[in-house]
Amino acid sequence: MAKYRVGFIGTGRKPVRAGPEGYGMAHQHAAAYKALPEECEIVACADIVRENAEAFAAMWGVPASGVYTDVGTMLQSEVLDVVSVCVWPHLHAPLVIEAACAGVKAIHCEKPMADTWGASRLMAQECARRGVRLSFNHQRRFGRPFRQAKAMLDQGVIGQLRRVEFSAGNLYDYGSHSFELSGYFAGERPARWVIAQIDYRSESLVFGAHNENQALAQWEYDNGVHGLAATGRGGGLVGAHNRLVGEEGIIELGPQGEGLPVLRVRRYGAGGWEAVDCGREDLHGPGYIERGIADVLAALRAGGESELCARHALNATEIIFACWESSRRRGRVDLPLTIADNPLQAMVASGELTPRPREQALAR
């Protein structure tokens, strides 16, 4: 069995402490590929900062000849099957499209999809028309707590699902995980409509992209399941990382409070909460990125669709931009979403929203 040849677009530097300027995601992707030595080998990497690319290469066994500072040169010089894209969101679409046009077989990109709805759709379209499998690193769905919650849901433990809920820091950066998980639980269906309101008074840039400070959002999938999200200061409204509300009970992942289990269920008429054993896994890992990339490669090998496919990511991303568009319109947004821009970014650019610069906000 021939090994897949893997290249990286964006290595960054491995941070001492993860934060909104970097999480060293290329290094986490690399560890996942390295855990599959019979399936793939990392043969090339490109970063505009040569010392970052060289450090990455030294750590992950990339030959010196496979180190580049220009993406185009790497794509022209190397025969690559799979590319991981680990740059900031505004660069995702152009670099994904460039890799797709270069003839790679699969692209695994960091989330969120892109900085606008139009760019999100375009990158998915251009990969699809070239037969390139595009996936995104929404790895949470491979965690044991989330898998067990989905299995309980499928087994009818809480009856028919009526509503998915979540709390998060924001709708876009962290929320991309939360909306994608909501779709996972709700049957991977597109939404019918979205209504939301946001507050953005203090500048919050994550990987260069604006994120609201607080939001309240409601939506409905086309199978009748409803969604509810609260972010920022309002996150306590939901009171859990994710909640599944059924006709016969509730499942909670990451309930807020000291000493609570990562996963619990309450069946109506059957007393209190029951803790569900998830071993040593919590909401964030370990091993979730490794499982996600293993699924991407397995789907490529089988000629199928990864669970992390662009189709699922688009369903989640459409709701995100529709939330901001609802705030811009001050009303409900019926889908499909027909705008192409980023409503939050546009409202800041027009002066409709005037968040205090981060330095001023920190000084208060």
In tens, the pLDDT along 315-329 reads: 999 999 999 999 999
Whether 107 and 19 map to the same domain: the answer is: yes
Which residues 6+ apart lie within 8 Å of 42 measured at CB? 6, 7, 8, 30, 33, 34, 60, 61, 62
Model confidence at 223: pLDDT above 90 = yes
Q: Is residue 362 part of a domain?
A: no
Whether 69 and 157 map to the same domain: the answer is: no
What pLDDT does 364 receive? 34
In which domain, by residue range, is 61 found?
4-139+287-308
Model confidence at 143: pLDDT above 70 = yes
Model confidence at 363: pLDDT above 80 = no
Token code pair at residue 334? 């019926």
Whether 37 and 76 map to the same domain: the answer is: yes
Alpha carbon distance 255, 179 (integer Å)? 17
Could you give the number of structural domains in the chain? 2
- Confidence at 37, pLDDT banded by 50, 70, 90: very high
Q: Is residue 361 part of a domain?
A: no
In tens, the pLDDT along 84-123 reads: 999 999 999 999 999 999 999 999 999 999 999 999 999 9
Q: Is residue 356 part of a domain?
A: no
Whether 134 and 237 map to the same domain: the answer is: no
Model confidence at 231: pLDDT above 80 = yes
Model confidence at 21: pLDDT above 70 = no
Model confidence at 277: pLDDT above 90 = yes
Whether 116 and 19 map to the same domain: the answer is: yes
- Confidence at 16, pLDDT banded by 50, 70, 90: low
Q: Is residue 259 part of a domain?
A: yes
Alpha carbon distance 12, 173 (integer Å)? 18
Q: Is residue 48 part of a domain?
A: yes
Model confidence at 1: pLDDT above 80 = no
Whether 24 and 91 map to the same domain: the answer is: yes
Whether 266 and 222 map to the same domain: the answer is: yes
Q: How much is the CA Rg of the chain, to the nearest whole Å?
A: 21
Q: Which pTM value belongs to this model?
A: 0.95
Mean pLDDT of the region 191-195: 98
What pLDDT does 361 receive? 42
Q: Is residue 357 part of a domain?
A: no
Length of the chain: 364
Assess contact for 195 and 229: CB atoms under 8 A: no
Mean pLDDT of the region 270-277: 93
- The string of DSSP codes covering 120-175 is HHHHHHHHHHTT-EEEE--GGGGSHHHHHHHHHHHTTTT-SEEEEEEEES-SSTTH
Angle (CA) 264 144 255, round 5°: 30
- Confidence at 22, pLDDT banded by 50, 70, 90: low
Q: How far is CA 109 from CA 231, 234, 261, in A?
A: 25, 30, 32
Alpha carbon distance 75, 92 (integer Å)? 16
Alpha carbon distance 83, 81 (integer Å)? 7
CA neighbor of 323 nearest in space, from 173, 196, 175, 229: 196
Q: Where are the beta strands (DSSP E) in the chain?
A: 4-9, 40-46, 67-68, 82-85, 106-109, 133-136, 161-168, 191-199, 205-206, 209-210, 214-221, 226-231, 240-246, 249-255, 263-267, 274-275, 333-334
**To the nearest whole number, what is the mean pLDDT of the chain?**
95
Alpha carbon distance 28, 266 (integer Å)? 36
CATH number at residue 84: 3.40.50.720
Whether 114 and 239 map to the same domain: the answer is: no
Whether 185 and 328 map to the same domain: the answer is: yes
Angle (CA) 304 179 131, round 5°: 25
Whether 82 and 178 map to the same domain: the answer is: no
Whether 110 and 159 map to the same domain: the answer is: no
CATH number at residue 257: 3.30.360.10
For the beta carbon of residue 94, count every other beta carbon within 10 angstroms: 15
Q: Is residue 363 part of a domain?
A: no
Whether 102 and 203 map to the same domain: the answer is: no
